[in-house]
Amino acid sequence: MRTYRKELWFEIPTRRAFVNITDTLQKCVDESGIKEGLLLCNAMHITASVFINDDEPGLHKDFEIWLEKLAPEKPYSQYHHNVGEDNADAHLKRTIMGREVVIAITNGKLDLGPWEQVFYGEFDGKRKKRVLVKIIGE
């Protein structure tokens, strides 16, 4: 069995954003030379997420609205965590959207469904953050 590891770095200029990383992950698979296996991709920060869904702007806006209803950014004082910080909502949003994805690799390609794309979700941006890509297989 072979392994491959790479860190992707993001510095999102806004507090929240969704970035399609599907092509970047396929490039990692290509670099790895692994034809059959599994790819793990996880956010290495507790206010960011990696998830799979459709790349449709209306859906992304729906996520924004829905997440803000579930865990509104303001008022900051509503959260016990926000003592000297203002990102409690980002921790909650990350929990809802998830930490990682695992994707099968078949014939050297990400084995995704017809509309599935992989996204980095940022909920407390304006600083550098990492995403781990780990691939195992043959």
Q: Which domain holds residue 47?
A: 2-56+98-137
Q: What's the full length of the chain, in residues? A: 138
Residue 15, domain CATH: 2.60.120.460
**Domain annotation covers residue 39:** yes
Question: How many folded domains does the chain comprise?
Answer: 1
Is-above-0.85 flag for pTM? yes
The residue type at 109: K
Rounded mean pLDDT for each run of 10 residues along the chain, 138 residues in total: 98 98 98 98 98 97 98 95 94 98 98 98 97 98
Using alpha carbons only, give the angle 51, 80, 119 rounded to the nearest 5 degrees: 10
**Domain annotation covers residue 74:** no
Residue 56's φ and ψ, nearest 5 degrees, are -130, 120
Using alpha carbons only, give the angle 25, 42, 65 rounded to the nearest 5 degrees: 95
**Domain annotation covers residue 114:** yes
